[in-house]
């Protein structure tokens, strides 16, 4: 089975870039399932049913999220209702949405689990025991698990990769919007990367207009950020998974939107 995982899609430029690139991505990689982090798909912050719908239309099968998932109140019902979207499992119990979902791809049942880092991000429970609890819950219902670990620091991500090695097909980092150069299959058979990167404008600062980001750093005053829209790139990974749920390869995809 082949999985295409798309890094954080930022705003309309990210959605438009993905729409333009999707035919080429499909043709070249023939993924069995496309998973995308969509937590910044609405106006650069948050997700709505409409932006999620656009991603589903493009052929995204599962959307993962992170710290901006609750930005838009009108999405809460959608998060509860639609099993194709997940939010970090280690958020407070009872919050809208679910932390994991299962997709049936022919004979393979694939669990997609979303976790949030605890360093510099707010969570209800540490992601390490939460990962154990979630995997125990999924045990018997899935043949392979793909984890989106939405976290700030590379140290916490690397640690999670080791914690999950041999237990999941892939542990893929998101959130920083900057792709890292450490994609590899760990010794136990888990595909790992600290950060997949983003699908958005490379001309800005992690997705926002660079002059506004610089103004914010220069003045330390509140600044209204707009989504940068030039030079959009697709940051993704392709992961091949064996029938036993272990990964055989992970390859980075870093291409300009056509
Ligand atoms: Fe994030």
Q: Which tens digit of pLDDT belongs to each residue from 3-50?
A: 999 999 999 999 999 999 999 999 999 999 999 999 999 988 999 999
The C-alpha atoms of residue 34 and residue 52 are separated, in whole angstroms, by 13
State the virtual CA torsion across 97, 33, 110, 47 in degrees, nearest 10: -10
CA torsion angle 31 37 43 46 (round to 10): 150
Banded model confidence at residue 203, pLDDT cuts 50, 70, 90: very high
List of residues 6+ apart from 237 with CB closer than 8 A: 4, 5, 172, 183, 191, 193, 196, 250, 251, 252, 253
CATH code of 209's domain: 3.60.21.10
Q: Given the residues 29, 68, 83, 175, select the one marked as catalytic.
A: 68
Among 159, 151, 68, which Cα is nearest to 116's? 151
pLDDT attached to residue 251? 98
The count of C-alpha atoms lying within 13 angstroms of the C-alpha of 175, restricted to the half-sphere facing its C-beta, is: 27
Query: Is 68 considered catalytic here?
Result: yes
Task: Please count the structural domains in the chain.
Answer: 1
Distance 106 CA to ligand 1 centre (A): 32
Please, what is the average pLDDT of the chain? 97
Please tell me the distance between residue 114's alpha carbon and the centre of ligand 1 in angstroms: 12
Each residue of 154-178: pLDDT tens digit? 999 999 999 999 999 999 999 999 9
Residues spanned by the domain of 31:
2-256
Q: How far is the CA of 65 from the centre of ligand 1 (A)?
A: 7
pLDDT reported for residue 44: 87
How large a percentage of the chain has pLDDT more than 70? 100
Which backbone phi and psi does 64 adopt, to 5 degrees? -105, 165
Q: How far is the CA of 98 from the centre of ligand 1 (A)?
A: 17
**The pTM is what?**
0.97
């Amino acid at each position: 089975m082949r999985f295409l995982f798309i890094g954080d899609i930022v705003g309309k430029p990210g959605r438009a870039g993905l729409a333009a690139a999707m035919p080429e991505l499909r043709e070249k990689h023939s993924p069995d399932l496309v998973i995308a982090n969509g937590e910044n798909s609405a106006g650069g912050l948050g997700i709505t049913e409409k932006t999620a719908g656009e991603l589903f239309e493009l052929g995204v099968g599962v959307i993962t999220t992170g710290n901006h998932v609750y930005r838009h109140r009108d999405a809460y019902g959608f998060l509860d209702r639609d099993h194709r979207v997940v939010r970090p499992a280690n958020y407070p119990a009872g919050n809208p949405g679910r932390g994991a979902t299962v997709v049936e791809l022919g004979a393979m049942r694939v669990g997609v689990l979303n976790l949030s880092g605890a360093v510099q991000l707010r969570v209800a429970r540490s992601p390490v025991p939460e990962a154990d609890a979630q995997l125990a819950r999924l045990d018997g219902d899935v043949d392979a698990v793909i984890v989106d670990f939405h976290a700030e620091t590379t140290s916490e991500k690397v640690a999670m990769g080791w914690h999950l090695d041999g237990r999941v097909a892939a542990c893929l980092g998101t959130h920083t919007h900057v792709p890292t150069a450490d994609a590899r299959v760990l010794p136990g058979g888990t595909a790992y990367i600290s950060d997949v990167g983003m699908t958005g404008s490379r001309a800005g600062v992690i997705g926002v207009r660079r002059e506004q980001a610089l103004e914010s750093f220069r003045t330390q005053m509140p600044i209204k950020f707009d989504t940068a829209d030039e030079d959009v790139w697709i940051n993704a990974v392709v992961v091949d998974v064996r029938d036993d749920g272990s990964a055989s390869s992970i390859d980075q995809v870093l291409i300009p939107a056509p």
